[in-house]
Amino acid sequence: EVQLLESGGGLVQPGGSLRLSCAASGFMFSSYAMNWVRQAPGKGLEWVSVISGSADSTNYADSVRGRFTISRDNSKNTLYLQMNSLRAEDTAVYYCAKAPYSSGCYWIDYWGQGTLVTVSS
Amino acid sequence: QSALTQPPSASGSPGQSVTISCTGTSSDVGGYNFVSWYQQHPGKAPKLMIYEVNKRPSGVPDRFSGSKSGNTASLTVSGLQAEDETDYYCSSYAGSNNLLFGGGTKLTVL
């Protein structure tokens, strides 16, 4: 059974940093691309970033490019999202999301339960 | 890139069929057969319902179907049931390793 468990969310001041983690199990982690998708309170889904299974390819939404960094440790079956220069508009539930292929973000087949990030002073 | 366009709401009576549209451009919906649909109950994670325009993952009832014509994709829910009342989101690959979502549609079973 595929399981994705996010952690690291919390309250942070504007301009601050936070690192999210996602522990994966139930599948061959290194064989699949992984994504982060976020959802602001009461709003729709917004794709944030993708990393290939081998970590040799990444991409970001324009709204976070230059501030967020996606990475993965295949030896620990863990996905990360380093978030810097956080803004109020980054407040959202962040979902870890598995892709069905080793690269590309064509669609998402499994989602974690999400972790809430609140950016406020 | 702009989000895909979905109607904010849709409704139907139990047993009826309802169709939710998802409009994009030739750079996303119209350019790739990588349209997917997700169901999200309040406070829960999204769940994949349709992928690659019209394919259903194992375990998704065949009451759910997908299609695409030009730059518009559609999700049809047939034989509406009370448990189908929730939010639905479309998504499309947009090239260059980008993924777009629609704004979401709240489905009400009357």
Query: Chain A residue closest to B100 (CA)?
Result: A47
CB contact under 8 A, B38 and A110: no
pLDDT digits (tens, 9 = 90+) for B17-70: 999 999 999 999 999 999 999 999 999 999 999 999 999 999 999 999 999 999
CB contact under 8 A, A107 and B52: yes
* Alpha-carbon distance A92 to nearest alpha carbon in chain B (angstroms): 13
pLDDT digits (tens, 9 = 90+) for A61-78: 999 999 999 999 999 999
Asked if A114 reaches chain B (Cβ–Cβ under 8 Å), the answer is yes
Instruction: Please tell me the predicted confidence (pLDDT) of residue A105.
Output: 87
Mean pLDDT of chain B: 96
* Alpha-carbon distance B48 to nearest alpha carbon in chain A (angstroms): 6
Are B54 and B67 in contact by the 8 Å Cβ rule? The answer is yes
* Alpha-carbon span B56 to B64, nearest angstrom: 8
Instruction: Please tell me the predicted confidence (pLDDT) of residue B1.
Output: 67
Residue count (chain A): 121
Instruction: Please tell me the predicted confidence (pLDDT) of residue A104.
Output: 86
CB contact under 8 A, A109 and B51: yes
Among A44, A30, A34, A46, which residue's Cα sits nearest to residue A6?
A: A34
Mean pLDDT of chain A: 97
As a whole number, mean pLDDT of residues A9-27 equals 97
* Alpha-carbon distance B103 to nearest alpha carbon in chain A (angstroms): 5
Single-letter amino acid code for the residue at B26: S
* Alpha-carbon distance A108 to nearest alpha carbon in chain B (angstroms): 7
Which residues 45-84 of A have a C-beta within 8 angstroms of B?
A: 45-47, 50, 57, 59, 61-62
Are B74 and B7 in contact by the 8 Å Cβ rule? The answer is no
Q: Kindly state the percentage of chain A with pLDDT values over 70.
A: 100
What are the backbone angles phi and psi of residue A17, rounded to the nearest 5°?
Answer: -130, 160
What residue has token string 């998708």?
A37
Query: Chain B residue closest to A98 (CA)?
Result: B48
